[in-house]
Amino acid sequence: MMNDESPSQSYPVVQWAVARGKAVSVVLTLLILLGGVAGGLAWHQWWLLPVSLVAAAVLLGLLLSYVEVLRIIADTLIPKY
């Protein structure tokens, strides 16, 4: 069976993540940070404030590195006819 998909239609999730990965990473990180700060303030658990800050920083680093790896994969493996 032949593959009739053009290169622009192959791997749509990878292409979506490459196109919007940085913005999605920042938004998810901000949601984690704001959720941790709001939870810490609402429940008077002050230790949640620095923990949420560290967790958000680690999450941002991991997500941005994941997006970078996806960009490398997309550039080298997806044909661009």
pLDDT value at 3 more than 90 = no
Residue 68's pLDDT is 97
**Which two structure tokens, joined as six digits, stand for 18?**
């490459």
Tell me how far the alpha carbon of residue 33 is from its chain's centroid. 15
Q: What does the alpha-carbon distance between residue 7 and residue 20 come to, in Å, rounded to a whole number?
A: 19
Q: Is 11 exposed, middle or buried (0-12, 13-18, 19+ CB in 10 A)?
A: middle
- pLDDT top residue among 79 and 71: 71
In a domain? residue 2: no
6 inside domain: no
Q: Is residue 42 part of a domain?
A: yes
Average pLDDT over residues 44-73: 96
Domain range enclosing 69:
12-77
Q: What is the pLDDT of residues 5-43, one digit of tens each?
A: 665 677 888 889 999 999 999 999 999 999 999 999 999
Share of the chain above pLDDT 70, in %: 89
Q: How many domains does the chain have?
A: 1
- DSSP secondary structure code for residue 3 in this structure: -
